[in-house]
Amino acid sequence: MQKQRGMTFIGTVLMVAVIVFVAVIIMKLTPPYLEFMSVKKALNNIATQPEFREMGKKEIYSAFNKTAAIDNIENIKANELIISQSDRGPVVIAEYQVVVPLMGNVSALLDFYASTDE
Q: What is the pLDDT of residues 71-116, one digit of tens each?
A: 999 999 999 999 998 887 889 999 999 999 998 899 999 999 999 9
Is residue 10 in a domain?
no
Average pLDDT, the chain: 91
In-domain check, residue 84: yes
Residue 86 lies in a domain: yes
The strand pairing partners of 96, in sequence order, are 112
Determine, yes or no, domain membership for 23: no
What is the reported pLDDT for 66?
A: 93
In this structure, which amino acid lies at residue 11?
Answer: G
Interatomic CA distance for residues 99 and 76, integer angstroms: 13
Domain assignment present for residue 103? The answer is: yes
Secondary structure (3-state) at 93: strand
Domains held by the chain: number = 1
| 76 closest CA partner among 112, 44, 102 | 112
The whole-number pLDDT of residue 108 equals 95
Write down the pTM of the prediction.
0.82
- Asked if residue 2 belongs to a domain, the reply is no
The parent domain of residue 97 ranges over 30-115
- Give the confidence band of 117 by pLDDT, cuts at 50, 70, 90: confident
